[in-house]
Structure 1
Amino acid sequence: MSGFLASVLICAMVVEGLRAGPSAEYVVYPRLLQARAMNGTKLLQVNEKITLHLEKSSVLAENLVVSTLNGDEQVDTLVDGREVEKDIYHDQSQMAAVSVTEKDGTVEVRGSLGHTLRIVPLPLMGRSEDGHLAHKVFEIEEPMEFKTDYIVPSERNIPLRRQPIRPQVNIPETFFAEVSYCFRSEHHSRHFPDESSLLVYAALTIKMINLRYADITNPRVQFVLVGVATLKGRNSITEVVKDQDVLRPTTHTKEYMLSEKTLDNLANAVYTKKLNVIADVTVLVTELDLADYKDGQLSNSVLGVAFLGGMCSVRLRVAETEDTPHTYSMVPILVHELGHSLGMVHDGDKAVYSTPAYKHYVCSARDGYTMAPVAHGARNGQWSRCSVEHLRGFLRTLQDACFQMLSAKHYTINMTRLPGAGITKQQLCEKTYSRFRGVRVHPESQNSAECRIWCCPDDYNNRCLPAHLTDGMECTQGSHCVKHQ
């Protein structure tokens, strides 16, 4: 494998966690008090206690390149996002995001009323006396607590040619990095009922990543989703093997994706245009465990892989990540991996790219920032000064073309609710450990202040496995997990 490879590994400690009781739900009959005000807003009364001042959301771009790659044949189509987003609104002050469809003199509402409240129609229930449709409002259940460490081993000792700093490059106030996703249909796309739901999911992950990069300034960094590709049938990119299930080696086998070989194949496919994408970085997303053979033994500790400084590189502008569909588990992995792609080494390592003042300065890995070799530290979700200076130094090595938007239109999402508001802890456990039977959340939890829970399968010898709460899930009563905190 060429280039400087950065890998995220996970080491899970098995301990027991706790969970609280069921959440409340009730029936409401929403109505529009004001169909459209002068400023374009709508006033939606959910019940006597909840009224939303809704503004139109711009969640999709006019054109997103959606591709399928079947063997060597690639077919591209453009998706019109305007039709998809026509009924989507948000209330920024209440962190609410809903779809409001007017029909037969009433409204049908779906979405989030805040961090913890969700709303869905009840089409089989009778209408109110004045003809409004019944809806169910429900609150996500309270989460649990567990402990786990993400451990990153020493970087591979591969030489990397440092590119010269180009002071004449005009770095914009905001660097819009264009991202393309590549999904493997057999393992990811099949979990989504249609193309639109997969696109929305992909866009939400980009928005969540952008939330974590929002603290970086001079310049700001924002990622823009410009393409979504699906690999169908046999392909020359993914390397999949079947081996013992590392959690149940004596009784079960499962498929793994070889991370290093797959990343090399992906880089070659993008370089040779076998996968023809226009993006600053292309990310392969897989439901399979990433793994590699070390001294003849399979190790599945890798969660994501990227080339250091690979952003906009002709040959190295690729990354890969694991993801459990509908849980957004790829987000914290990609935040870290895209940092590597933007020139950031781990805190505690010597800089490869940096501004002159920080060229020889090494930040402590023990401070627990996002780029620390051990994730979920005290400052996870925040950036060390070293990481910011590494980014700035890296951007000074880029060509002007990297700062230009090569895609005329982009597909983005204006997220006013966090996706975890729609995922219960039980659903998170079931999706994360779908290969196990009878997975349940440990029954004695009171809170999960560290934004982690334990999932206990019936067929795992009374042991439990960790899962990370998605942004928006309630960690303690009245508090929610955002950026792992």
Structure 2
Amino acid sequence: MLFAYILTVILSPILITASELPKEGLLVFPELFHSRAEGGINVLRLTYSITLKLQKSSVLKSQFLVRTYTDGIPMHTYMTGADLEEDLFHDPDSMASVSINTNDGVTVEGVVGPKLRVEPLLTQERDSHGRIPHRLFHIEGDLTKDDNDYSVPENKVKEIQVSDSENETMNISERSSDKIYPELFVVVDSLFARSFSSTRKIIKYVSIMVNAINLRYLSVTSPKVKHVLVGLEVTTPERETFLRRLRLDPRYIHSQGSLASFYNYTLGNPKLYKKFDIIDLLTAHDMATIKQGQINNGNAGYAYIRTACTDLKVGIGEDKPKTFLGVHVMAHEIGHVLGCLHDGERSPWENEGVPGSEECPFRQGFLMSYIRKNSNTYKFSECCVRQIREKARSRSGACLHKKNVENKSVKKYNYLPGEKVDRTAQCRNAFPTARDALYMENYGVKDCRIRCAITTGGGVSDVKTLNLCDGTPCKDGKRYVCINGICMKKKRKYDNEAVPPSIFS
């Protein structure tokens, strides 16, 4: 009886639209069902007219890099991606990307449609059935209203030199069934991070964003595109010299100036940024440009075009934390980095055979325009698809075909990195810019943390606290190990990909 009821709900249309929601949102009590009739999928009912058929999502790299700073020194923590995204789901038909927790009732957070988001109200009482109250919100209008949001590099990045081994990748990329995996590293500024109580919650939020972006890229074919979030960095105000404020009004950061400065910043720190395919800076600051002496804040993103895999692989975009308003901006700016012009524009590389977008009118309202009128808003035009295809098949796009680029020999292992990497090696891996780092044995292991004695480039010595790698023994030794910072009983086997020690070298 339950399964028949679920099917009836699934087939009913979504009757509530974003424009019909009250400004303060709609109170809802989500319910989660497991339907055998639907192939064992999870069915999430938000209201009688809004139901999602959820599929398990995967956007994080198996060993996920988290970079934070302690006294100005970058610290690397590697976390197990499969554990971090255990609660991540999507519904491609509804363009939904959500995180669901069922530990003590059902809590849902994320995007439940192109213009709807949901968040739990944990401080309010449950209903008579024990369901946790949530609020369904309208995702407000676009941050971006200005099409001046990308730069063509001076050398136009037509081709770069690649090795013979990369030429093999180019032969593979000619196949129409190919799939590319742009490895995305996201940097969040300190103002953005301030809205979250922990780094783990930032990871969760950005994971939902990237998951939602991948749904928009389902319209790209030959090759298909799936972005992989390989790491996240939380900056500090002291390091944010790349955020260039407008002299006319310091409340705004200058779009082009901040992008150029961020590029120079990443270029000057190759140990920290060189290995990623695309780097996206997520900011909570209001971006603006100057037009005819006047401030124009209609611009919410800026990127270099067709620069993935090169030193200029950077983009910057606004987001209002916890609103998912920046999903569209990030998808759009990454589109530029992958080679997409705005619809209707000529190609700067037309003499070299790189296609333009003249055949796709701006007024059709696809994702690479700023007209919002129908479902085209959440898809790429055929012109953009051709441009991504050309970039992916060019020699300068070879890195997009590589998965687990740091280590090509990743296999299924029955152990985790902490079982094979000693604590001094973990100290050295965690502080990549330090001259040396040593494990302080006298402190021992406390709450999956150790202390490292580090020596900086200037010869200064200091002591830093480090979260241990997954699999490092804790408590009584062999029976308990650290998993994402928690000391728990060791499993006999790990189904997710545990990365061998060489990835930390």
Band of TM-score, shorter chain:
0.5 to 0.7
Aligned mates of 1:152, 1:91 — CA distance in 2: 30
Distance apart, 1:209 and its partner CA: 0.9
Aligned mates of 1:232, 1:300 — CA distance in 2: 24
Query: Where does 1:24-43 land on structure 2 (aligned, <5 Å)?
Result: none
Aligned mates of 1:47, 1:289 — CA distance in 2: 35
Aligned mates of 2:149, 2:139 — CA distance in 1: 34
Query: Where does 1:78-477 land on structure 2 (aligned, <5 Å)?
Result: 78-84=78-84, 98-101=100-103, 107-111=104-108, 134-137=130-133, 140=136, 150-153=145-148, 160-163=156-159, 169-171=171-173, 173-185=178-190, 187-235=191-239, 237-241=241-245, 255-273=251-269, 276-277=272-273, 278-294=275-291, 296-313=293-310, 315-352=311-348, 359=355, 362-370=358-366, 372-378=368-374, 379-399=376-396, 400-405=398-403, 406=405
Aligned mates of 1:324, 1:117 — CA distance in 2: 13
Aligned mates of 2:87, 2:40 — CA distance in 1: 13
The one-letter amino acid of 1:395's match is: A
The one-letter amino acid of 2:401's match is: F
Aligned mates of 1:383, 1:123 — CA distance in 2: 40
**Offset from partner CA, 1:62-104 (integer Å, 9 cap, x none):** 4211112468632111123444455678899997863112xxx
Paired residues of 1:308 and 1:345 also in contact (CA < 8 A): yes
Distance apart, 1:287 and its partner CA: 0.8
Distance apart, 1:276 and its partner CA: 0.5
Distance apart, 1:289 and its partner CA: 1.2
The one-letter amino acid of 2:106's match is: V
Aligned mates of 2:317, 2:126 — CA distance in 1: 46
Structure 1 residue runs of 5 or longer lacking an equivalent are 1-16, 102-106, 246-253, 411-485
Paired residues of 1:306 and 1:319 also in contact (CA < 8 A): yes
Change (3 A) 1:65 1:72: same
**Offset from partner CA, 1:155-186 (integer Å, 9 cap, x none):** 7685625338989532161100011111111x
Distance apart, 1:143 and its partner CA: 8.8
The one-letter amino acid of 1:336's match is: H
Paired residues of 1:108 and 1:121 also in contact (CA < 8 A): no
Change (3 A) 1:398 1:40: same
Paired residues of 2:67 and 2:76 also in contact (CA < 8 A): yes
Aligned mates of 2:24, 2:289 — CA distance in 1: 41
Paired residues of 2:105 and 2:132 also in contact (CA < 8 A): no
Aligned mates of 1:331, 1:274 — CA distance in 2: 28
| Deviates further, 368-377 or 161-170 | 161-170
**TM-score by structure 2 length?**
0.59
Aligned mates of 2:126, 2:264 — CA distance in 1: 58
The one-letter amino acid of 2:217's match is: Y
What's the secondary structure of 1:66's corresponding residue? strand
Report what 2:67 is aligned to. 67
Change (3 A) 1:274 1:136: same
The one-letter amino acid of 1:192's match is: F
The one-letter amino acid of 1:343's match is: G
**What fraction of aligned residue pairs are identical, expressed as a percent?**
21
Distance apart, 1:221 and its partner CA: 1.0
Identify, as 1 or 2, the structure richer in helix.
2
Aligned mates of 1:117, 1:360 — CA distance in 2: 35
Aligned mates of 2:197, 2:234 — CA distance in 1: 14
Paired residues of 1:20 and 1:143 also in contact (CA < 8 A): no
Structure 2 residue runs of 5 or longer lacking an equivalent are 1-18, 162-166, 411-505
Distance apart, 1:349 and its partner CA: 1.6
What's the secondary structure of 1:305's corresponding residue? strand
The one-letter amino acid of 1:100's match is: T
Paired residues of 1:70 and 1:231 also in contact (CA < 8 A): no
Report what 2:8 is aligned to. none
Aligned mates of 1:18, 1:111 — CA distance in 2: 21
What's the secondary structure of 1:234's corresponding residue? helix
Aligned mates of 1:337, 1:191 — CA distance in 2: 23
Aligned mates of 2:55, 2:369 — CA distance in 1: 41
The one-letter amino acid of 1:375's match is: I
Paired residues of 2:125 and 2:133 also in contact (CA < 8 A): no
Distance apart, 1:121 and its partner CA: 8.5
| Deviates further, 357-366 or 266-275 | 357-366
Report what 1:425 is aligned to. none
Aligned mates of 1:80, 1:66 — CA distance in 2: 11
Distance apart, 1:370 and its partner CA: 2.8
Distance apart, 1:264 and its partner CA: 1.6
Change (3 A) 1:371 1:43: closer
| Deviates further, 366-375 or 90-99 | 90-99
- In the comparison of the two structures, how many residue pairs are matched? 371
Distance apart, 1:268 and its partner CA: 2.0
Q: State the superposition RMSD in angstroms.
A: 4.8
Aligned mates of 1:377, 1:48 — CA distance in 2: 27
Change (3 A) 1:182 1:56: closer
What's the secondary structure of 1:235's corresponding residue? helix
Change (3 A) 1:24 1:235: closer
Distance apart, 1:340 and its partner CA: 1.3
Change (3 A) 1:275 1:333: farther
Distance apart, 1:307 and its partner CA: 0.8
Paired residues of 1:257 and 1:288 also in contact (CA < 8 A): yes
Change (3 A) 1:174 1:237: farther
Instruction: Name which structure has the greater RCO, CA cutoff 8 Å, separation 6+.
Output: 1
Aligned mates of 1:401, 1:147 — CA distance in 2: 32
